[in-house]
Amino acid sequence: MSEQMMERQPQENELTAEVAKSGAPSIWDDAKSMATAVRMAEYIANAKVIPQAYQKNPGDCLVAIDLGRRMGLSPVVVMQNSQIVKGNFTWRGSACKAMVDGSRKFRNSRYEFCGKPGQWDWGCRLVAENARTNTTVCGPWVTMKTAKDEGWLRNPKWNTMPELMMRYRAASFFAKTECPETLMGFQTAEEIQDITGEYTPPTEQEVKEGVNFAYSMPDDAAPEPEDDTGTVILDDL
C-alpha cells in the first residue's frame, strides 16, 4: 500500500468507528434540545478550526449538529467530511467507504479494479462481505467509459486523478444501493459537481491522494468489463 494511501487510513478509521455508534433523537423533537443546539451552533460557528463554509454560519452548523446526533457523530466530524455545494449539504467522496464500514451491515470492504489503466474499460467497484450472511456483495462498476458517457469528464478531476474519482463514485454507489440510510439521503460533493458543471479546485489532501493516478485516455471507447474477468483486487484504503 502506498504512503499516500496510508495517510488516509487514520482519519477514515476514526470516522468508521464514529459512524458505528448509535445516534440520538433529532434536535427538532423538543424545544429544550433545539435551544441547546442553537447555542452550540452559535459557538461552533465562531471557531476557526472548522471548514470555512461553516464559519460564521450557525444555520449550517445547526444542520451538522442534527446530523451528528442522528448518526452518533461529533458535529466537527460531520463538518470535516462534508461540503456545501451550491447551497446543498453533500458528503465528501472519501467519507462514503468509512460509512459503509461503520454501518455494521458489512465488513472487509475493498476496491476491485478491472480493465487497463489509461483505457476506457478501466473501472472500479466496492466489494464487501455481508456481516449477517457472510456472502459477498458487489457494488456497481464505475468505469472511465461510464464517466465519459455520463458527461463526468467535464470535471477536470476525472482527468487529473481518475482512480481517486472512480473510488469515490464506487463507494457512493455501494452505499446508495446497499445501505442508503448511511448517507441520510444526501449526495456526495463530486456527484453534485459532475451534474452542475461547477467545480472546486482539488484540495491539498486530494492532490496527495490522486497525484499519481492521472492517465491520458484514448479517443476510442472500449467495451464494458465483465464481472468475472480481468479483475484485480487492491489493498483496502
How many C-beta atoms surround the C-beta of residue 68 within 10 A?
21
The verdict on residue 63 lying in a domain is: yes
Per-residue pLDDT, averaged over 192-214, amounts to 59
Element (H, E) at 83: strand 82-85
Residue 167, pLDDT above cutoff 50 = yes
The whole-chain average pLDDT of the chain stands at 79
Of 78 and 198, more confident:
78
Categorize the per-residue pLDDT at 226 as very low, low, confident or very high, splitting at 50, 70 and 90: very low
Which DSSP string do the residues of 84-128 spell out, in sequence order? EETTEEEE-HHHHHHHHHHTSSEEEEEEEEES-TTSTT-EEEEEE
What's the pTM value of the predicted model, to 2 decimals? 0.69
Which DSSP string do the residues of 116-167 spell out, in sequence order? -TTSTT-EEEEEEEETTT--EEEPPPEEHHHHHHHTGGGSTHHHHSHHHHHH
User: What is the residue range of 52's domain?
Assistant: 22-72
Whole-number pLDDT of residue 235:
42
> Could you tell me if 142 and 174 lie in one domain?
yes
Q: Check the CA dihedral 14-132-186-189 and report its sign.
A: positive
> Could you tell me if 39 and 98 lie in one domain?
no
Residue 210, pLDDT above cutoff 60 = no
> Could you tell me if 67 and 160 lie in one domain?
no
Of 150 and 26, more confident:
150
Phi-psi category of residue 127: left, alpha or beta, with phi > 0 → left and psi -120 to 50 → alpha: beta
Whole-number pLDDT of residue 200:
62
Q: Which amino acid is at 103?
A: S
Residue 216, pLDDT above cutoff 60 = no
Of 17 and 169, more confident:
169
Rounded to whole angstroms, the Cα distance separating 217 from 203 reads: 23
Whole-number pLDDT of residue 155:
87
Per-residue pLDDT, averaged over 119-140, amounts to 96
Whole-number pLDDT of residue 24:
58
Span 73-93, pLDDT tens digits: 889 999 999 988 878 888 988
Contact 174, 100 (CB under 8 A): yes
Per-residue pLDDT, averaged over 31-51, amounts to 93
Question: Who contacts 76 (Cβ-Cβ below 8 Å, separation ≥6)?
Answer: 44, 49, 50
Residue 232, pLDDT above cutoff 90 = no
> Could you tell me if 220 and 123 lie in one domain?
yes
> Could you tell me if 136 and 227 lie in one domain?
yes
Residue 35, pLDDT above cutoff 80 = yes
**What are the grid coordinates assigned to 149, written together?**
458517457
Total domains, the chain: 2
> Could you tell me if 27 and 105 lie in one domain?
no
At residue 237, the 3 state secondary structure works out as: coil
Residue 110, pLDDT above cutoff 90 = yes
